[in-house]
Amino acid sequence: MNVFISKPLGYCHGVVRAIELVKKIAFEHPKRQVYVLGRIVHNQDVINELDELGIITLESNHLSKEQLIENLPSDAILIFTAHGHPRQFEEIAKRKNLTIYDATCPMVLSTHHLIKRELKNNHQIIYIGKHFHPEAEAALSLNKNVFLIEEFSDLETLNITDESPYIINQTTLSYLELNLLHEKLKKVFPKARFANEICNATRLRQEGVFTLPSYLKLVYVVGDQKSSNTNSLVKVAKSYLKEAKVLRILNVKEINPTHLKGLKDVGVISSASTPLEVVQEVINFLNLQ
C-alpha cells in the first residue's frame, strides 16, 4: 500500500518531559512506591509500560481524586500529571506529608499564568475546554470566576457579567472548532479579549493533516480514545478528508484488515501522546499490505 504520513510523529516535548520525570523518580527511589494521580498522559500503552515498571496510576470509578490522595500511605511519592491539577490536591498531599512532584506541561502552566493575570484585574474568564478533562478541571479550580464552556450553548447556564471577559482555551483543542466558537463569542461579547492557547505541538499535528492527499478513502488516527489531542485530530481529519473513513486506533492490533481490502492508499496521523514505536508499527504493518 502507499502509506501517506501526517507529520510530526511521536511525543511532544510536554509528554517526553512528563514520562521522563516519572521514570527518573521511580529509578531514584527503588524502595518507595511511586503513584501518578490519573494518567500521566492519555495513552494506554504508556500506562501499561509504567505499570510494568511498578509505577501505580491512581484511577477509580467510585473514589474522587481527593479521596485517592487521602488513602495513600505517608511514605508515598505522588506525581501530578502533564495536564495540570487543582491546587487543593497539592494541599491534601502536603498535609499528608507525601513527597510530591509535578509533571505539568509548561504550556499548560502558561495558560494558568494568563488566567491569574486577568483574575487579578477583576475580569471573568471563559475557558473553552472539555468537561471533566483534567486540564480544564485544573483551570477551573483557579477561581470561581473561571467558567468552562465546551459548546456555545453552555453559555446559557453561566452568569457572565463582565463586558470584556478574557476568553482562553485548553491547549489540545481542534483549531477549526476553536475558530468557529471564537466567531460566535465575538458576536455576544464584542469587547471580549481572546487568547489562542492551542499549543504548538497540537497545532503542528493538526496542520500535518492538510498535507495528506484529499482523495484518501481511509485514514488511521493513532492515539488513545481519552486523549483530547487525538480526538481533535479525528475532527480535523473528518472535516478536511471528506472522502475518507477516519478511524481512531490505539495501536496496530486494532487494525481490521477488512477495511484495507481494495485500497491502494492509506493515511496515518498520530497524536502528541502516541509513542513513536506504536505509530511506526502501524506504518510498517500497512507498508506490508
List residues binding ligand SF4 (CB under 6 A): 12-15, 82, 105, 107-108, 171-172, 199, 201-202, 229, 272
Closest contact distance (angstroms) between CB of 200 and ligand SF4 is 7
Nearer to ligand SF4, 131 or 203 (CB): 203
Rounded-to-integer distance, Cα 46 and Cα 140, Å: 27
Residues 6+ apart with CB under 8 A from 106: 14
Q: What is the CA radius of gyration of the chain?
A: 20
CA distances from residue 275 to 41, 223, 224, 235 in whole angstroms, order as listed = 11, 9, 11, 21
Write the DSSP string, 31-47.
TS-EEEES-SSS-HHHH
Rounded-to-integer distance, Cα 267 and Cα 171, Å: 25
Instruction: Say if residues 104 and 135 touch (Cβ distance below 8 Å).
Output: no
Could you give the residue numbers annotated as active site? 135
Instruction: Say if residues 214 and 240 touch (Cβ distance below 8 Å).
Output: yes
Closest contact distance (angstroms) between CB of 225 and ligand SF4 is 16
Rounded-to-integer distance, Cα 86 and Cα 64, Å: 13
Closest contact distance (angstroms) between CB of 197 and ligand SF4 is 9
Nearer to ligand SF4, 57 or 172 (CB): 172
Closest contact distance (angstroms) between CB of 266 and ligand SF4 is 25
Instruction: Say if residues 15 and 279 touch (Cβ distance below 8 Å).
Output: no
Closest contact distance (angstroms) between CB of 7 and ligand SF4 is 15
Backbone angles phi, psi at 188, to 5 degrees: -80, -35
Which among 159, 161, 162, 158 has a CA at the least distance from the CA of 149? 158
**C-alpha triplet 20, 231, 155: angle, nearest 5°:** 110
Question: What residue number has its CB nearest to ligand SF4?
Answer: 14
Closest contact distance (angstroms) between CB of 3 and ligand SF4 is 24
Instruction: Say if residues 71 and 63 touch (Cβ distance below 8 Å).
Output: yes
SS3 218: strand
